[in-house]
Amino acid sequence: MDQRLVHISKEISYALRHHPEEFGLAPDEQGFVPVDALLAALNARHPGRRPVTRADLEQIIATSPKQRHQISGDRIRALYGHSFATRIDHAPATPPDVLYHGTTRRALASIRRQGLLPMERQYVHLSTNVAMAREVGARRDEHPAILLVDAKAAASDGVRFYLGNNDVWLADSVPPQYLTLLTGPDYSQSQD
């Protein structure tokens, strides 16, 4: 994906995940906004820039290594990552037996006590594979800690999971008893 599209993709994530109001957008309960309204808002913010078109959005979705956005008819949404106040509805679904979460070594002590919490976002984000969890954790720590989530046990105990995209699962929170440290400093010894 060329730099122009990478930049647009980031701006779309900002608009659809975090600050739709800055773009005059009001996502529905599933996070969708009209494609035309998004394009108009993007282009109004950058009058000198080559206008963004629906074809650009389709190309971003088709070529991005991560499936972040989805177009359905004349609407578009972010599939995960939301932080704005109105919680997006994701349909509860049965997760794979195990999921992974990449985080910083620094966060481990608090996670050991509290479990995984959504923090600034609406949901906790979990990965279907270790490589992706490592990539997520590496955004903030060059030697990220990887947690294994016993999603099967958590789900059967009533923790709710939701599908983000094919690789990203969401949860309201994950209590510590379902977490095991795969890579990182000794989880049981981690201190504040």
Residues of this chain that interact with ligand HQG (CB under 6 A) are 66, 68, 81, 103-104, 107, 110-111, 114, 116-117, 119-121, 125, 136, 140, 168
- Residue of 95, 192, 111, 189 whose CA lies nearest to 146: 111
Give the Cα separation of 184 and 86 in Å (integer): 35
Nearest CB to ligand HQG, comparing residues 76 and 111:
111
DSSP annotation of 174 reads: B
Show the tokens assigned to 169: 């699962």
Compute the least distance from the CB of residue 71 to ligand HQG, in Å: 16
Give the Cα separation of 162 and 182 in Å (integer): 23
Nearest CB to ligand HQG, comparing residues 75 and 134:
134
- R_g of the chain computed on alpha carbons: 18
Cα-flanking dihedrals φ and ψ of residue 94, to 5°? -80, 120
Compute the least distance from the CB of residue 51 to ligand HQG, in Å: 24
Nearest CB to ligand HQG, comparing residues 65 and 73:
65
- Residue of 72, 52, 45 whose CA lies nearest to 9: 52
CA 133 to chain centre: 12
Compute the least distance from the CB of residue 65 to ligand HQG, in Å: 9
Compute the least distance from the CB of residue 48 to ligand HQG, in Å: 27
Nearest CB to ligand HQG, comparing residues 37 and 109:
109
Nearest CB to ligand HQG, comparing residues 121 and 152:
121
Q: HSE-up of 33 (CA within 13 Å, CB side)?
A: 23
Compute the least distance from the CB of residue 110 to ligand HQG, in Å: 3
Nearest CB to ligand HQG, comparing residues 43 and 160:
160
Compute the least distance from the CB of residue 79 to ligand HQG, in Å: 9
- Residue of 44, 46, 72 whose CA lies nearest to 57: 72
